[in-house]
Amino acid sequence: MDEDLKLIFKKQGYAFAGENSAVKMCHWFRESILHNRPCYKETFYGIRTHRCIQMTPAFNQCTQNCLFCWRYQAFNETYIKNPDDPKEIVENSIELQRKLISGYGGNPQTDRRKFIEAQEPKHVAISLTGEPTLYPYLGDLIREYHRKGITTFLVTNGTMPEVLEKLDPLPTQLYITVAAPNEEIYKKLLSPMIPKGWERLNRTLELLPSLNTRKVIRHTLVKNWNLEYLDEYAKLDMKAEPHFIEPKGYVYVGFSRERMTKENMPSHVEIQEFSRKIAELTGYYVMDEREDSRVVLLQKNKNIPKIRDN
């Protein structure tokens, strides 16, 4: 990556764990450790916000330039020329997380127990920016985190089905973002950088039932773009058969403000209504919600245990 561009990202709070890998402290870490407000993933799935690393092994590489993405849209690479060593990424990401959160040790509002626990991360979200399935040693990276007793959430746009098909080991939980109900909207809203992106996403959805791990379909919903089309979304969900479905509203933050407006944000009431109708169409159960994140949780059945990353 260009050094001037890397310097800009460092000023924005990114810490580089390698040439193409990075860590950034999550907004919800601050909320959890200062105000006892964990992120919705803790509410829904059990992982603890204050012990979670937010990272990526593919900082500047992606297969899409989504209009709703809050990140800086500088993606022009669809492969990694010099991938970082997975063991080094893991060691560096843990050490960088400790450095990023170190300032909270002197804050009188800090929950001391959480701060001490945070020194030993127990969860990693491989989701910060870029498309992690472009990283050629993704299985080794997941294995290294698991060896340290760290659970993994892998978030992908689903355009690399051949990677997921061969991935070993699988992450603790696999997220697939499905932010378009059909190919026309997919091309306009997600701006694919590779050919046959829609077909590749559908191959991933067809593959999903065979993958032996916890699976989530996330619908990122943008008002006046993709909020309708309930029947089409439901067909995609039924094809994938995930354990969970997350309808989540777009939020007007970050660099998405250069491409979207406040009017593109659905209200939580609209997300609730979308979720209720999807539940009716798929037979899933509405299990939980977080209004502050404009997200609702649907589950395939009511007895799926939460993750225990003790």
Euclidean distance between CA atoms 198 and 78, whole angstroms: 16
- Strand, helix or coil for residue 50: helix
Q: For residue 73, what pLDDT is reported?
A: 63
Q: Is residue 252 part of a domain?
A: yes
Nearest to 133 by CA among 110, 112, 159, 115: 159
**In the prediction, which pLDDT does 74 show?**
61
- With residue 144 as reference, give the H or E element that holds it: helix 138-147
Say what the pLDDT of residue 1 is: 67
Residue 68, domain member (yes or no): yes
DSSP 187: H
- Cα 25 to Cα 42: distance, rounded to the nearest angstrom: 16
Report yes or no on 308 lying in a domain.
no
| Domain assignment of residue 219, given as a range | 15-299
- CATH assignment of the domain containing 231: 3.20.20.70
d(CA 153, CA 26): 14
Distance of CA 72 to the CA centre of its chain: 16
Q: Per-residue pLDDT for the chain (310 aa), expressed as one digit of tens each? A: 677 778 878 888 999 999 999 999 999 999 999 999 999 999 999 999 999 999 999 998 999 999 999 877 666 789 999 999 999 999 999 999 999 999 999 999 999 999 999 999 999 999 999 999 999 999 999 999 999 999 999 999 999 999 999 999 999 999 999 999 999 999 999 999 999 999 999 999 999 999 999 999 999 999 999 999 999 999 999 999 999 999 999 999 988 999 999 999 999 999 999 999 999 999 999 999 999 999 999 999 999 999 987 6
Asked if the structure places residue 181 within a domain, the reply is yes
* Half-sphere CA count of 13, side-chain side, radius 13 A: 12
Our measurement of the distance from residue 167's CA atom to the centroid of its chain's CA atoms, rounded to an integer in Å, reads: 18
What pLDDT is attached to residue 310? 65
How many domains is the chain partitioned into structurally?
A: 1
Residue 5 belongs to a domain: no
Name the pTM for this structure.
Answer: 0.96
User: Is residue 309 situated within a structural domain?
Assistant: no
Has residue 204 been placed in a domain? Answer: yes
276 assigned to some structural domain: yes
**Cβ neighbours of residue 271 under 8 Å, at least 6 residues apart?**
221, 247, 248, 249, 294, 295, 296
227 burial class (0-12, 13-18, 19+ CB within 10 angstroms)?
buried
